[in-house]
Structure 1
Amino acid sequence: MDLREATALVTGANRGIGEQFATELVQRGAKVYATARRPELVEVPGAQVVRLDITDQSSVESIADLAGDVDLLINNAADTAGGNLVTGDLAAIRSTMDSNYYGTLAMIRAFAPVLAGNGGGVILNVLSAAAWNTVPGNTAYAAAKSAQWGLTNGVRAELESQGTRVVALVPGLVGTRTLYDFAHRAGVELPADAVIAPADLVRLALDGLEAGDVEILDPLAAEVKAGLAGPPRVFAL
């Protein structure tokens, strides 16, 4: 995919990975819709800022009508604070699943015909290595990411016939405020050499998109996936 000629829509572009995606895509010459539930927080020069709540079907339908020229959909927005499955707040657990799984699915269902009409295009879902090794203290998030990984593999097969490439971006530990806040609450010191900066992850992802990859992993995620041949284990922080 030539990003210089792409029209991209990025969800959750108000901070972290989403902000970096929108910024880097503008720099590479793409037209960018930078979306968020609170668009006033989006600061991406050169992007068209639009309000979007991926858990609100009417909001999803409105953005699909507005952005009919999109050929690159980046599903990044997600609730990350589900907590523990057994003892955590059930509403928080549902919210995490709703955004990661159902929100991503809603965006794909809305934009599949848009992408088909624009030559097929690409969908990139931002996943997590937590999908493969659960995370003590936030097992709900890990479960939601596991579901999102299964969703990604499923829609890849379903959309192949219309020429849409579905890509999984699977990072390990990304140096966002969300990660550092979680580590602080959990009393965990993150090893600096295991954390990838959001800008570095986004460059890795966009280079992979241009190369035609369908699964893009950073080094830590590649190590985690390789370990799936052994017994189940938790994500070591």
Structure 2
Amino acid sequence: MIVEDEAPLVTLLKYNLEKEGFGVCEATDGEEALVQIAERKPDVVLLDWMLPLVSGIEVCRQIRRSPTSRTLPVIMLTARGEEADKIRGLNSGADDYITKPFSPSELIARVRAVMRRAKPDSAGESLGFADVSMDLAAHRVTRGGRPIHLGPTEFRLLRFLLEHPGRVFSREQLLDAVWGHDVYVEPRTVDVHIRRLRKALNGPNEMDVIRTVRSAGYALDEARD
């Protein structure tokens, strides 16, 4: 979630975040932000210090006071670069603090870092959607209790989709997330691995949990023809 009242900055942030595969929602003042946080439960909040109605500092304090959002990662965005201001922001409960102007790549790196800290891989961590389960520690996948054998790329692809159920990702977004930015792979390669993943996941009379969205990409969803 981007909480910012400068429309050009919101546009810039949204473009760069969506390019990296993030789903983005917006709020332009502190009151709207608190309502949306309670309803949407975002993974991370990019919070401007100077906001209409309720300041970013107060929004952060209220996030930390609420049992449902206490652990929500918050990155404070501000033009105030003095050390005292940074300390005040962090003391209000922010996880990180970035001073304007900043590079989008630095911001995205910090977003990923606070999300990793909020959801570290642990020995017992698992992911699931419908009757598909992934045990990250044991590196095993099952569907309805049936073992699913996947190659390394299909495993990474399924993990990424399980971490973002319902979201549609383009081939380019999946390439960046699963193969990485520094590796050149043809976008059509994604289709090959999606086919392999489907073949492994979908047994007789089982619903296809990977939905193809024409001209857009793929999503982990309860697909319909």
TM value normalised by structure 1:
0.32
Structure with the larger helix share: 1
Which protein has the larger Cα radius of gyration, Structure 1 or Structure 2?
Answer: 2
Higher relative contact order (CA 8 A, sep 6+): 1
